[in-house]
């Protein structure tokens, strides 16, 4: 019997997750169906209830529902609790298990696929929503110092608060970035969806810096800005998407696919 899974978001039509999971299933011999479902902005919980009633085994969660998915989960992994956000749900009996594979996916893409070593680097994380929350603890544990910048500085301060004693995670406004430079700049905002650029000053990129946009599938204004500003490496989030999907797939199916041929196939498209 074919097991059903989905990715839930709004918007969601652009998602490559169904294609990725189809390739994972073919590679590992798993009998699954995976689709993209757009939930109404005020209807996420109802959408999850419907999927459970229809026998779905789990789902991925993307913008803007990751915080809501965290609240909906009846059991949560340590990674989910660290982020206070969930991107992977597993439906088991009466339970909704919540996990977050975003950070694992980001680090795998940066260090394995892009061959960029994180230890002792300085990072700037743009945004303070679910995407940023999902990767903050893994970045911290990788041994780097982090500045979180957001239009609303209070939201950045909320994300940084649990790290106050460590002295390596700080919240700043965009205006306060003037005169600062970083080894790694990650755009975790959704600005690229509307072809916008966060209000960034010049000079953000150190020699050899990596500019990383979590969005994928197009040249975003942030990526164009990074090229103009001399970033040594400019990457979109396709590798992160594939790597985090592989961890979700392994949680659901108890077998881990090989991401290398899947990422290569997607890059060729």
Active site residues: 66
Q: Which two tokens stand for residue 60?
A: 């991925």
3-class DSSP assignment, residue 205: strand
Q: How far apart are the first and last CA of the chain?
A: 31
Residue with tokens 């959704």: 190
State the burial class of residue 3 (Cβ atoms within 10 Å of its Cβ: 0-12, 13-18, 19+): middle
Phi, psi angle pair for 25, to nearest 5°:
-65, -40
Within 10 angstroms of residue 114's Cβ, the number of other Cβ atoms is: 14
Cis peptide before 11 (omega within 30 of 0): yes
243 in helix, strand or coil? helix
* Residue in this structure with the two tokens 């599938």, named with its chain if needed: 217
User: Helix or strand or coil: residue 187?
Assistant: strand
Phi, psi of 200 (to 5 degrees): -100, 140
Residue with the two structure tokens 């991925």 = 60
């Amino acid at each position: 019997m074919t097991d059903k899974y989905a990715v839930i978001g709004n918007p969601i039509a652009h998602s490559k997750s169904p294609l990725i999971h189809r390739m994972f299933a073919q590679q590992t011999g798993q009998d699954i169906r995976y689709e993209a479902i757009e939930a109404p902005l005020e209807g996420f919980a109802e959408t999850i209830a419907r999927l459970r009633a229809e026998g779905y085994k789990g789902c991925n969660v993307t913008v803007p529902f990751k915080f809501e998915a965290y609240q909906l989960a009846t059991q949560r992994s340590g990674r989910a609790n660290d982020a206070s956000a969930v991107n992977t749900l597993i439906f088991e009996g009466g339970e909704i298990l919540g996990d977050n594979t975003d950070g694992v996916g980001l680090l795998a893409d940066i260090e394995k696929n892009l061959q960029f070593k994180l230890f002792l680097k300085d990072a700037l994380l743009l945004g303070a929503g679910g995407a940023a929350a999902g990767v903050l603890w893994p970045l911290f544990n990788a041994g780097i110092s982090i500045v979180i910048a957001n239009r609303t500085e209070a939201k950045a301060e909320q994300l940084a608060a649990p790290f106050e004693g460590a002295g390596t995670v700080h919240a700043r406004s965009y205006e306060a970035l003037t005169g600062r430079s970083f080894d790694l700049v990650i755009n975790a905002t959704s600005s690229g969806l509307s072809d916008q650029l966060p209000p960034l000053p010049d000079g953000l990129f150190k020699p050899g810096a990596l500019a990383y946009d979590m969005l994928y599938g197009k040249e975003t204004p942030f990526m164009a800005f990074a090229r103009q500003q001399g970033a040594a490496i400019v990457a979109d989030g396709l590798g992160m998407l594939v790597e985090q999907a592989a961890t979700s797939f392994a949680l659901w199916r108890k077998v881990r696919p090989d991401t290398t041929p899947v990422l290569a196939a997607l890059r060729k498209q």
